[in-house]
Amino acid sequence: MKKLIYVCLTLLCAAVCVGSVVPVLRAQEGGNTSIECPYDQGYENYIKYFYKGNMANRVVVIQSQQQQHPSCIEHGRYSLCDDRRRRVFTVTIRHLQLEDAGPYWCFIDGWTYNPITEVQLIVDRVPHISPPPHPKPDPVTSRPVPSTTHPSTTNTMETEYTTGMAE
Ligand SMILES: *[C@@H]1O[C@H](CO)[C@@H](O)[C@H](O)[C@H]1NC(C)=O
C-alpha cells in the first residue's frame, strides 16, 4: 500500500513537472514562426498532425497526408514539411496574428501514448502595425531656401549653420 502511494505521488509529480516545462516560443505579430516536431524511427510514413488549443479543445490546424509528395503541404497560413530522413516535421505559421498565441501540439497518428511535442506560442504585438500618427507639420516658412547657385561646399556649411540656430 505504501509502495502504491509512492508510485502515485511519483506519477503525479512527473505529470506536474513535465507540464510546467512546455517550451515557450516567442514571435512577433506579422512575422513567421516555425515549430519543429522530432519523431522516432518507424513513424516516417504516418500522418503528422498539428493541433492548436489545450488538450480538451484541440483542433487540427494542418495535417500531412499518407505518402505525402512533395514533403511540404500548405493550408492557409500554415505549412507542414516532413523531413523523413531527419525524422522531424516542421510547421510554419506565416503572418502571425495575436489570436495565434496559445498551446500547440505535434502529434503522429499511431502513437499509443504521448510523447507529444507541445509548445506555447506567444505573439508579441508590434505597435507600428497600426497606422502611424500624422507627422508634425513642418515649419516650412522657417526653412532656409535651398540654394542652387552656391557650390555644394557652401551648402554643407549653410546646413550646419541652420542646425546650430535651431538649438
Ligand atoms: C514569411 O514567409 C513568407 C513566405 O515564406 C515570406 O514571403 C515572408 O517574407 C516571411 N515574412 C517574414 C517577416 O519573415
Question: CA end-to-end span of the chain, whole Å?
Answer: 83
- Pocket (CB within 6 angstroms of ligand 1): 31-32, 94
Residue type, 29: E
- Residue 51's Cβ-count burial label (10 Å; 0-12, 13-18, 19+) is buried
Per-residue confidence at 156, pLDDT binned at 50, 70, 90? Answer: very low
Spacing, Cα 114 to ligand 1 middle (Å):
32
Residues 35-56 have a mean pLDDT of 89
Q: Does domain 23-124 have CATH number 2.40.50.140?
A: no
User: Which atom belonging to ligand 1 lies closest to the Cα atom of 95?
Assistant: 1
Spacing, Cα 101 to ligand 1 middle (Å):
18
pTM of the full predicted structure? Answer: 0.65
For a mutational test of ligand 1's pocket, the pick from 94, 95, 100, 126, i.e. the residue with the most ligand atoms closer than 8 A to its C-beta, is: 94
Q: Are 161 and 155 in contact (CB under 8 A)?
A: no
- 5-19, 25-39, 48-62, 112-126: lowest mean pLDDT where? 5-19
